[in-house]
């Protein structure tokens, strides 16, 4: 079984400031890792994913994340946020050696970008 913990439920940040969203996971098997964004009244959109290889992953909209296997973490960062980044962000994992795409999500981090 897998579990995902997002350590911050809300993160207020000023426009053009950097932001980091923390994600830790627990799993008895190897997993793929994902970050999704959910804008108000919309579904989830994939920001980035880690499958294998380089531990630094770049995604859309200037976001990047770093996989740390020893700390079982997958923190998301953006060097300079915009008002339009106000949204809820979800970290998720999926087992690598299982058919299907079952995702286990964390509880989410709400990012509020202030002018």
Partner 1 sequence: DAGVTQSPTHLIKTRGQQVTLRCSPKSGHDTVSWYQQALGQGPQFIFQYYEEEERQRGNFPDRFSGHQFPNYSSELNVNALLLGDSALYLCASSLLWLAGGINEQFFGPGTRLTVL
Which residue from 44, 62, 72, 86 is in contact with partner 1, where contact means CB under 8 A? 44
Q: Which stretch binds partner 1 (CB under 8 A): 19-27, 56-64, 69-77, 105-113?
A: 105-113
Tell me how far apart the alpha carbons of residues 2 and 94 are, in angstroms, rounded to a whole number. Answer: 8
- Shortest Å distance, C-beta 86 to partner 1: 16
Choose between 15 and 22: whose C-beta lies nearer to partner 1: 22
Establish if 46 lies at the interface with partner 1 (CB under 8 A). Answer: yes
Tell me how far apart the alpha carbons of residues 82 and 17 are, in angstroms, rounded to a whole number. Answer: 9
Establish if 97 lies at the interface with partner 1 (CB under 8 A). Answer: yes
- Shortest Å distance, C-beta 10 to partner 1: 11
User: Which residues sit at the interface with partner 1, rule CB under 8 A?
Assistant: 4, 6, 32, 36, 41-46, 49, 51, 90, 92, 94, 96-108
């Amino acid at each position: 079984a897998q579990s995902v913990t997002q350590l911050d439920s809300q993160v207020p940040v000023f426009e053009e400031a950097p932001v980091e969203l923390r994600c830790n996971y627990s799993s008895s098997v190897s997993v793929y890792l994902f970050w999704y964004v959910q804008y108000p009244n919309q579904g989830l959109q994939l920001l980035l994913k880690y499958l294998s290889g380089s531990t630094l992953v770049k995604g859309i909209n200037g976001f990047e994340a770093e996989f740390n296997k020893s700390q079982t973490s997958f923190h998301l960062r953006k060097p300079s946020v915009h008002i339009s980044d106000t949204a809820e962000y979800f970290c998720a994992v999926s087992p690598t050696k299982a058919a299907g795409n079952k995702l286990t999500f964390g509880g989410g981090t709400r990012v509020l970008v202030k002018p």
